[in-house]
Amino acid sequence: MARRVGLGVLAVLVVVGLVVFVQPPPDYSELIPNAGTYEVRILRDSWGVPHVFGKTDAATAYGLGYAHAEDDYATIEEALLQSRGTAAAKLGQEAAPIDYIVQLLRVRETVEAEFEKQLSPEVRAVCQGYADGINHWAALHPAKVASGVLPYTAHDIVAGFYFKSPFFFGVDNAVKSLMGTKRPGEVSQKTDSPAAESVGIAPEGTPALEGFAATRRWLTEEMPVGSNTFAVSPNRSADGSTMLNINSHQPWDGVVAWYEAHLVSDEGWDVVGGTFPGAPVILHGHNRHLGWAHTVNKPDLVDLYVLETNPENANQYRFDGAWRDFEVGTAQIKVALWGPISWTFSRETLWCEYGPAIRTDHGVYAVRYAGLGDIRQVEQWYRMGKASTYDEWLEAVKMQGFASFNISYADETGRIGYFYNARMPKRHPGYDWKKLLPGDTSETLWTDYEPFEALPKVVNPVCGFLYNCNNTPFECTAAEENPRPEDFPATYGIETHMTNRALRARELFGEDDEITEEEFHAYKNDHAYAADSEVATKIRELLAADVPDEPIVKRALEVIATWDYGTEGENRAAAMALLATRPNPDGGASSGSVEAMFNNIRSWAPVLEEHHGRLDPRWDEVCRLERGDLDLGLSGGPDALRAIYCMFMEDGTLHGFEDGDLPGKGGDCYILMPRWSSDGTLSSQSIHQYGAAATVPESPHYADQSPLFARMQLKPVWMDEDDIRANLERDYAPGE
């Protein structure tokens, strides 16, 4: 009898599954805008890059949404589901933490409350236009759309910005630190004058994840981090030109993988650069007059508070001598299990004077971070892209709608600049803000921010060059023109470390008084580790150690002893040296101790020998770009200026190395290099690691840029319509 019941239940599930499967796709025709609502044409160039020409900014955003969906709808859908806190319903349990954090941080509630208060009508229209463009494409391809997700709205778009922004400076790491089995550190005690060296200085090491950590493919400590930018003014260039390198390091796939677009409207928009799935504006790039680039910085923008709860009422906490009520809610998280079957579980959410709070076995904690409640990220990027002068651009930057990021700048007048952007809380000087904070006093509740003008910056250095490679802002130009650490309070928590990329940039640009365009590009693709980098230091430690009496270790060390710290494709010692040290993207050697490096050799030298027949294969035989049918050798490595992130650990195993190859997964990706000649004439080149069609394998643009990328070559960026039409693949309106 029990067996018959079990089979009956299974039969019902199968039938339900079949019914779902054979149901016709829904009719989304009402989501297609009426003719004339948006006047826009999409011009695809020979590389498939969309140049979107709209009557209004909103029309251009609509065309971008449609084009972006053509090339990468699956990732856009994932990104927007994340912003709703409903990703697990499609992606499964790996996305459940994302949904919880969205609800814990009140992302949707904040956007609903602040949408019309904080955002201009122009930006609200741009966000809705982009959403309408996605909806239009999805309406024409219902079989590719998850059930129940349409329509997308402007609120979805804004929520994506508001949710992702704090992950760039470590909110995810802060929340994760509370999820352990014990309290994550000591509670600061108030002092009259704490030692400066103990206050707010960010610990050295891996920064907050570059890009957005919370994606199911990249929710790991091995997420690529790092970015490069540098600029040269007429004071340093050989021909009086101004050059900018826009070179963020991102994952090659997923919700923070770059998409190239050119946006033009009759309302003055004319900007080219990179954007993310779900974003209706250019995030870093250039217009005809100026350009900017971002790298991740590490200011101390997140604080954790220990709350004292009422022994007689667990839903109250003490603040300034009185008990206050938590705002108690419930996060409902629906998780896809199998086919049409899902499971919804609940988790408590708390809100207090400081912001979101979390109840754990070892205490109740509040989280406060810079930009809490500010949804103007998209507004700022929109205004940066539309600025035609330095003053207009700087006014947009001063909004500090996004709370972190270094920003480099260059323009047609020859001006260059570097800005350590951070929305620095005004903190009470009597606490050690590296530690946990007492959550019972308004003294630890900061409500205001330091002025933008109080942060490190350098504009128009006499030496004519600037750089940032995720390093300290106190090393960004010639020594005598650098900002000085003593000019900034320790409570800012400004980082002091140098990456290998920064060491090499300082050396290359500092030693060349007349930099040509060819040299500028060559420096960007430099392969070397600096002699004073941590990787080089670890190699010297390894070679100076007592050698174990193990033949394969001895032979591996003989190879490593010949290494010149280079990662060019033909280098025959790079593979063994990098496998031993395992450089991380932020300037360190992940292996740490000499014994750990010996263990790496023991584990991975046999793999090299098995699959390559030797311990010294060419580096480009090991470091690979794999895309569709392409399998290309690469130069570069982790924390080289030619950044290729190819060493990822999973459960102690070097992921992807089972067959002797190290496939690249991130690092150098979309690279954009504008140049203004001495008379202000703009020329620009770019490259993408794959191509325009991110998730469309049948497209000719799925991997058409990869061979150029592997050879470290660039393609032209066309901004004039005549040039675009001279290299035109297709001219159409959405739906045609």
Q: Which pTM was predicted?
A: 0.92
pLDDT at position 3 over 70: no
Q: How would residue 391 be classed by pLDDT, with cut points 50, 70 and 90?
A: very high
Q: How would residue 343 be classed by pLDDT, with cut points 50, 70 and 90?
A: confident
Check: CATH 3.60.15.10 for 227-300+375-430+444-524?
A: no
DSSP state of 81: H
Q: pLDDT at position 448, please? A: 96
- Tell me if 144 sits within 8 A of 74, measured CB to CB: yes
Query: How is the chain split into domains, by residue range?
Result: 227-300+375-430+444-524, 534-640
Q: pLDDT at position 432, please? A: 93
Q: pLDDT at position 648, please? A: 78
pLDDT at position 10 over 60: no
Express each pLDDT in 48-92 by its tens digit: 999 999 999 999 999 999 999 999 999 999 999 999 999 999 888
Please give the C-alpha separations between residue 386 and each of 265, 282, 641, in angstroms, as whole numbers. Answer: 10, 10, 30
Residue 117: CB partners within 8 Å, gap ≥ 6? Answer: none
- Tell me if 274 sits within 8 A of 283, measured CB to CB: yes
Q: How would residue 656 be classed by pLDDT, with cut points 50, 70 and 90?
A: confident
- Tell me if 103 sits within 8 A of 351, measured CB to CB: no
Least confident of 50-59, 429-438, 721-730: 429-438
E strands present in 578-677: 623-627, 630-633, 644-645, 648-650, 653-655, 662-663, 666-667, 671-676
pLDDT at position 221 over 90: no
Please give the C-alpha separations between residue 199 and each of 49, 193, 300, in angstroms, as whole numbers. Answer: 48, 10, 10
Q: pLDDT at position 23, please? A: 62
Mean pLDDT of 307-312: 98
DSSP state of 262: E
Q: pLDDT at position 342, please? A: 81
Express each pLDDT in 591-623 by its tens digit: 889 999 999 999 999 999 999 999 999 999 999
Q: pLDDT at position 338, please? A: 77
Q: How would residue 493 be classed by pLDDT, with cut points 50, 70 and 90?
A: confident
Q: pLDDT at position 6, please? A: 40
Q: pLDDT at position 650, please? A: 67
Mean pLDDT of 711-732: 98
Q: How would residue 215 be classed by pLDDT, with cut points 50, 70 and 90?
A: very low
pLDDT at position 510 over 60: yes
Q: How would residue 341 be classed by pLDDT, with cut points 50, 70 and 90?
A: confident
pLDDT at position 649 over 90: no
- Between helices 96-104 and 154-164, what is the axis angle to 10°? 90
pLDDT at position 209 over 80: no
Express each pLDDT in 560-597 by its tens digit: 999 999 999 999 999 999 999 999 888 777 888 999 99
DSSP structure string for 403-429: ---EEEEEETTS-EEEEE----B---T
Mean pLDDT of 454-459: 97
Q: How would residue 651 be classed by pLDDT, with cut points 50, 70 and 90?
A: low
pLDDT at position 214 over 60: no
pLDDT at position 625 over 60: yes
Q: How would residue 25 be classed by pLDDT, with cut points 50, 70 and 90?
A: confident
Report the alpha-carbon distance of residue 423 to residue 397 in Å, rounded. 11
The three-state secondary structure class of 26 is coil
pLDDT at position 21 over 80: no
Average model confidence (pLDDT) for the chain?
A: 91
Express each pLDDT in 474-490 by its tens digit: 999 999 999 999 999 88
Q: pLDDT at position 581, please? A: 95
Q: How would residue 225 be classed by pLDDT, with cut points 50, 70 and 90?
A: low
